[in-house]
Structures are given as C-alpha cells and as structure tokens.
Amino acid sequence: MTVYLDANATEPPRPAALEALTEVARLTGNPSSVHAFGREGRRVLETARRSLAEPFGTHAEQVIFTSGGTEADALAVHGFGHGRRLLVGATEHDAVLQARPERDILPVHADGTLDLAALERALAGDSPAMVCAMAANNETGVLHPLHDIAALCRKAGAWLHVDAVQAPGRLALDFAASGADSMAISGHKFGGVKGAGALLLRGPSRVEPLMVGGGQERGRRGGTPALPAIAAMTAALTEALGDDVRRIAVLRDRLENDARAAGAMVVGDRASRLGNTTCLVLAGVSAQTQLMTLDLDGIAVSAGSACSSGKVSASHVLRAMGYGPEAGQAIRVSLPWNVAEGDVEAFLSAYQRMTARLGRRDP
Amino acid sequence: MRILVAMSGGVDSSVVAGLLKHEGHEVIGATLQLYDHGQTAKAGACCAGRDIMDARAVADQLDIPHYVVDAEERFRSSVIDQFAESYARGETPVPCVACNQGVKFTDLLGMARDLGCEAMATGHYVRRVETATGAELHRPADVDRDQSWFLFATTQDQLDFLRFPLGGMPDKAVVRAQADAMGLAIAAKPDSQDICFVPNGSYADIVARMKPETREPGEIVDEQGRVLGRHDGIARYTVGQSKRLGDINTQSANGVRQMVTGIDAPSRRIIVGPRQGSGRTIFGLRNMNWLFDVPPDGVECSVQIRARETPRAAMVRRDGDGAQVTLLEPAMPAPGQACVLYQGSRVLGGGFIRRERI
C-alpha cells in the first residue's frame, strides 16, 4: 500500500479536471484559427479565462496562461518587472529565486515570515523596485503578511509579485484586495494536470513576452495554449474552492501532535500556516534517510525542493530561518485534497517505526 | 533479503543490481553524487551527471527503487582535500581508498543499515569468502580486474556486511554479456578510467588550484644535496619514478639511470639517486587495517606496494596503530601509497606507507 502525502509537489488530479481534460482534448481547433474549429477552441479558452479570473477578483484580459508556475514567475520577473530592481524573499521557491541572478535577498524571521523592517529599508532606494513574496511557503506552509508587504510596497511605489502557487483551494485569496500587482498560479498544484498555469495581473499592465511566437495571449505569451490542461485547471479550481480545509487542518494537527510525541520538531509552528502542510525535523537523521525509509515503507513525502537529479540537499528555506544542521534533517508532509484519516494513521505508524529505530541519537 | 546496491551507473554495479534482483532479493539502488558534474553550468543548475542518469535508467529498467545520495561535501573534505594535502606533503595519495573507506563503506553502508538492509553490494572485483570466523577478502577470479589493493582498508565489520557478486566472474566480457542479457542499455558503456574527479586527467592542475605551493618550481638534487636541475612543482613526482627528470638521467655521475628517491615538501626539493641499488628493505605503515589476528612476532606474507605490480616477499610486524615491513629484496615504496598484505589470494590487511626517510 502506498500513501501519498506530497500534495505541495503536486495534488492528485481531481475528477472534474480529468473530465474537462479528456473532453477538451478531443477538440481539434486551434484557438487562433479563424474557422469554426478555431472559434470553438477560442470559446473554450476564453470561457476558461473568465472562470479563472472571477474567483481571484480580476478581469479575464488580465489572465495570461502559461505552462505552469515557473513560467508565470519568470514572466512576472522578466516581462512585467523588467527594468525594476528585484527584491526577493529568502524563502521563495527556486522558480523566483533563480529567475534573475541580479536580485537582492530579503531576510525572514525565525518563524519564516518576511522581515518587514528589512523590506522597508530595502525599499528606501530611489530606483523603482519589484518585490517577490510568496503567499504560502511550499516547504513549511508559512504565510507571509501579504497585506503589510503590499502596504509597504505601495508606499514606496514598488510592485509586488506574489507566487501564490500553493494557495488556491487552501487559502482564501482575494487577488484584487491583496494589493499584489501580479500573481502566479499553477494548475496541478490544486488538482489540475501538469502543463498549465497563469500569471494574473491586477491592472491592464504591459508585459513583454518571454516567447513572442504568434502573438498569442495578447502578445504576452507566444505559442498555442495547452487547452486541455487549461480547461482542467479551471475545472480543478472550481472544485478546489469547495474543499473542506478545516477537515484537512484537523488531520494535519493530529499528525503534527503525534509526530511531536515521537520526537519531531515542527518548523514554523508559531507563524500562520497552510492547513495541509507540516515540516518535521528529526534531529540527527538526514532528510535523505528519512525519505528513503518512509518511501520503502510506502509513504510518499518530500524534503526541500527536489533537484532533477533527485538528490536531497539541505533546505534553503530552513537555512534562511536560521536553522543549522536541522535544515538537512527535515521532511515535508503535505496532505492532498483527498487525504483520508487512514493515510495519516499509516504515516504516523511508519514515522513512529522510523523514530524508534533512528531517532534520538547523536548525529 | 533487503540489500542496498551502490550503483555508479557503470556496467559492473548495474549487473550486480540485476543479478541480485533476479535472485529474488529486495534490491535498493543508491547512487552517490560525489561532485558537481555540471562544471560548466552555473550555480543552482542541475548537477546530475550522465552516470547518475544511467544508474537511474538501469534501476527503472530493473524496477527497483533508486535514490541519489548527496555526498558532495563529505567527498570534498574526505577525498579531494586529503588528496591535495597529501601531495602538498610530498606524498602520492590513493584517493580511491579514501573514498571506499569514507563515503562508500562508512556513510553509504551506514545508510544501508539505517534502511534495515541486511547487506550492501558493490561492483568491485574482489571475492568475499565466508568462514566460521567471519568473512575474508580475496583477490577476484579475474586477476586483470583485481581491486583488492584498493579495498585493503575495509574493516572486518564492513566486510561482514558487504557483498561483491562480481568476484567470481571470469572476465569482463562475461559481465557485459550479463548486462546485455538483462537488456541494460549500459552494456557497452566504456569502463571508467583513472581518478573520477579529475575530468581531463590532469590531477596536478586540480592539486595546484587547491594547494598553489605544489606548483612552485624547485630544485632537483642528488642524495648529497648537489643541485642537478629544476622542476615545476612537487605534485608531478612520485618516489620511484624516472620521468620528468630531464637530462639528469644521462648527466649523472656514471651515466646510470636516476629516479626519484625522496620528495622534501618544505624545501620543495626532489631528491634523486641511481635506479640500480636504490631502495630500502624496511619501511613503516600507518593507519593499519588488519583482517586477521596478526601473531605478536609478525607474519610472513607477500606485500604489494603499488596498484599494479607483482607482490614481494616480506615480514610484517604490528607496530602500535601501524606496522613495520621488512622486504626480502629492496624496493622503492612511495609515501602515501598503500602497502597491502596478501597470503595467497587472501588480503590480510594493509596500511599507508609512511613518509619517514631512511
């Protein structure tokens, strides 16, 4: 039996998303074509655009479909924030951290939230800035104080880009009210399929495309959009907004308490966090060994953000929060939308077996 | 049983994984990430080399779980740094021994134990012989591929846990045929060569980057201290070599061929002497690993002081943590190299040749 508790890597695809996917995948039309087939494709695309814009409180024409979160972040940084000084939170995802080499890093507090005083100092410069702050951290679930960050940005004339990839369905997020200027989302992170994401813009701003191509997405993102994946994304969003986040949070809390009793330390537990995520440190046991042990026991969790080589390195997020060796001894457990009580129980018994064998020893 | 296989991405360890899988064991593949393969890529770029991709593809094909284990830091400090420091001391290190001992047979083996494995297997060409008193380490069936010299530092405890399924293979062609029969894509992959972390074969450049003093020029002197010539860095010399001595070979006193008899790191001097008649019969070993109960008055055995050479008759006595070797015929042991003790095909132990002068 295998138990999937790695939702922050990717959520299991939702039934509604799979239905939309297969339905739209049957369509031949390219949304750019002028004939009837093209019109049908265009209708599907623009319907998806409207139904994606609506729950975020933005307009359809301010939605740019991308291949996913990484492209949306890159488009924000390069196409939207182009020419602006870039200020990036230390715990951002690599999609943002690695997007542009010349950027200043903003420190976080020990609880993982952005250091607002440091942000204010960094914003004091003359040149116009773009600040990148994630809505929820993928490794710890910690939420940044977005309203305060947005207020500071507004005061300084800076733009705010929010990587909200972990938020939809898990966090009430009114884009219009958040004060953010742009926001990145990714379909498979809320139960769509891999291959579609979006950059949402607050206003009708100018965005230079990363790929010019045939001028699709109003000249802001070239290339034929991945229509089936986009349809799956919007269908998933509708379903995700109806998730019982309380149910998941209760399971997470139980998991966390029992893991603590087995010897774990919970990272960021003094900050507001996503209800589905917990980051557990088992002192003296490498994250690699923990992942392998749990995997061989049929439990799928993760550590840090996996490099494509699959090697597990110390977490840059935990390092930024001031952790030492513990940054290499943490695993992330993230409950998917369809998590069952039995999954949590299976995790806990595997975790307890692991701590009984490996825990509480000298590193 | 649950068994971890150290998979390098090469033919040998891939076949080991396949053989054990076919024997019905629960096989777990692990590949060590030892250094950044993406040397041309910028920081943060993916570091996986071709070998890791190959190992992963083999594991996928065999349908076994496979993990990439990050050992970069430990490899740098325990192997690469030590390698450079050894040269800076005027020695000639054997980095493969340090790697087998630290990263592989301590760290990875410890991880195998943590994962509840009952054994760890590698693709080394050595034989492990089970006896009533514990496992013995022997030369393999295929003497051309013998890796026992590089594994002398394997402790009894490690040896008991390890498995070397290729030790009985008659030759490499058979191993390749096995890989082919298993349908592994790497069956025809060339053997790895030389030192894995020296991409273009120029180890002296790597050493010089880490220890610039090893590239400083210095004098070549005879055993009386007379300056015979100059050299361009001590790291290019090993005791016993005659290369890189320029015309000193022909210039010397009676026209006898010369060789390096010593390297004095502090003064950056390479000391040479005549090839004929040089050498010593007594030398010391440090960091001795014994794989049998050495009698108090020592053991008569054969010793091998280089990776590839015929063993020499010797008497070896324990000397604290080290040992003292008495050769029947004089030889030129190079400080830093391994001296491995054999009785027939069996490895009795070994140590590193001490730097002390005669």
Spatial distance between the Cα atoms of B85 and B72, rounded to a whole number of angstroms? 18
**A296 vs B347: CA distance, rounded Å:** 36
* Band of residue B195 on the pLDDT scale cut at 50, 70, 90: confident
Positions of CATH 3.40.640.10 in chain A:
15-240
**Shared-domain flag, residues B12 and B104:** yes
Disruptive mutation site among A292, A297, A313, A354 for chain B (greatest number of B CBs within 10 Å): A292
Same domain, B146 and B110: yes
Q: How many CB atoms lie within 10 A of CB B23?
A: 11
pLDDT band of residue B247 (cuts 50, 70, 90) is confident
CA distances from residue B81 to A279, B38, B210, B264, B353 in whole angstroms, order as listed: 34, 20, 8, 20, 19
Residues B136 and B173 in one domain: yes
With b for 16 or more beta-carbon neighbours within 10 A and e for fewer, the A274-285 pattern comes to bbbbbbbbbbeb
Q: Residue by residue, what is the 3-state secondary structure of A116-174? A: HHHHHHHHCCCCCEEEECCCECCCCCEECCHHHHHHHHHHHCCEEEEECCCCCCCCCCC
Distance, CA of A36 to chain centre: 37
Q: Domain A3-11+244-358 is classified in which CATH homologous superfamily? A: Aspartate Aminotransferase, domain 1 (3.90.1150.10)
In chain A, CATH 3.90.1150.10 sits at: 3-11+244-358
**Residue of B68, B60, B71 lying closest to B186 (CA atoms):** B60
Residue A311 predicted with pLDDT over 90: no
Q: Residue B254 pLDDT > 80, yes or no?
A: no
pLDDT band at B355 (very low <50, low <70, confident <90, very high): confident
Q: Kindly list the residues from chain A whose CB atom is less than 8 angstroms away from the CB atom of residue B116.
A: 293, 296, 357
Cα atoms found within 13 Å of the Cα of residue A149, Cβ hemisphere only: 27
Q: Is A31 helix (H, G, I), strand (E, B) or coil?
A: coil
Tokens, residue A275: 């209800």
Residue range A15-240 in CATH 3.40.50.300: no
Q: What is the pLDDT of residues A45-58, one digit of tens each?
A: 999 999 999 999 99
B287 plus B234 within the same structural domain: no
Q: Assess whether pLDDT exceeds 50 at residue B43.
A: no
Residue B189 placed within a domain: no
The CATH number covering residue B324 comes to: 2.40.30.10
B250/B136 same-domain check: no
* Cβ atoms of residues B233 and B214 within 8 Å: yes
> Which residue carries 């149910």 as its tokens?
A247
Interface list for B 24-63 with A (CB within 8 A): 28, 33, 42, 44, 46-48, 52, 56
| φ, ψ at B135 (rounded to 5°) | -80, 145
Give A292→chain B minimum CA distance, Å. Answer: 7
What are residue B93's phi and psi, to 5 degrees?
A: -80, 165
Residue B224, token pair as written in the block:
């009386």
Structural contact between residues A101 and A86, judged by C-beta atoms closer than 8 angstroms: no
| Of the candidates B294, B293, B234, B240, the residue with the CA atom closest to the CA atom of residue B266 | B234
Average of per-residue pLDDT across B240-253: 74
CATH number at residue B105: 3.40.50.620
What pLDDT is attached to residue B253? 59
Q: Quick one: DSSP state of residue A107?
A: P
Nearest CA of chain A to the CA of B56: how many Å?
9
| Structural domains in chain B (count) | 3
* Interval B60-107: pLDDT, tens: 999 999 999 988 889 999 999 999 999 999 999 999 999 999 999 999
CB contact (8 A) between residue A309 and residue B44: no
User: Is residue B222 included in any domain, yes or no?
Assistant: yes
Structural domain includes residue B200 = no
pLDDT recorded at residue B292: 95
Q: Find the domain containing B232 and state its range.
A: 216-274
- Which pTM does this prediction carry? 0.89
pLDDT of residue B47: 46
Whether residue B193 is contained in a domain is answered as no
Q: Which residue has the tokens 């996913």?
A: A68
Q: What is the pLDDT of residue B241?
A: 86
- On average, the pLDDT of chain B sits at 90
Mean model confidence pLDDT for chain A: 94
> What is the secondary structure of B24-52 as a DSSP string?
T-EEEEEEEE-S-S-TTSPTTS----HHH
Question: Is the per-residue pLDDT at A278 higher than 90?
Answer: yes
**pLDDT band for position B44 (cuts 50, 70, 90):** very low
Asked if B198 is an interface residue toward chain A (Cβ–Cβ < 8 A), one would say: no
Facing residue for B33 by CB, picked from A292, A296, A311: A311
- Is B7 annotated as ligand-binding? yes
Chain A contact set for B52 (CB, 8 A)? 309-310
Tell whether the model's pLDDT for residue B192 goes beyond 90: no
**Nearest residue of chain B to residue A358 (CA atoms):** B114
Of A349-353, B248-252, B340-344, where does mean pLDDT reach its minimum?
A: B248-252
Our CA-based measurement puts residue A357 at a distance from the nearest CA of chain B, in whole angstroms, of 8
> Does B32 appear as a known binding residue?
yes
Mutate to test the interface with A, among B107, B111, B114, B118 (most CBs of A within 10 A): B114
B240 and B324 inside one domain: no
Contact A293 B115 (CB under 8 A): yes
Residue of A nearest to B53 (CA): A309
Judging contacts by C-beta atoms under 8 Å, the chain B residues touching residue A311 are 33, 47-48, 68-70
Q: Do A293 and B47 touch (CB under 8 A)?
A: no
Residue A307, chain B, CB below 8 Å: the answer is yes
H-type alpha helices, chain A: 15-25, 36-56, 69-74, 94-97, 116-123, 146-156, 175-178, 216-219, 227-240, 245-261, 287-296, 316-320, 341-358
Q: Which two tokens stand for residue B328?
A: 């029947």
Asked if residue B221 belongs to a domain, the reply is: yes
CATH code, domain with B226:
2.30.30.280
Whether residues B106 and B235 share a domain: the answer is no
For residues B44 and B147, membership in a common domain is answered with yes
Predicted pLDDT of residue A307: 61
- Per-residue pLDDT tens for B106-117? 999 999 999 999
Which of B229, B253, B274 is the endpoint of a domain?
Answer: B274
* CA-closest candidate to residue B283, choices B240, B345, B225, B251: B240
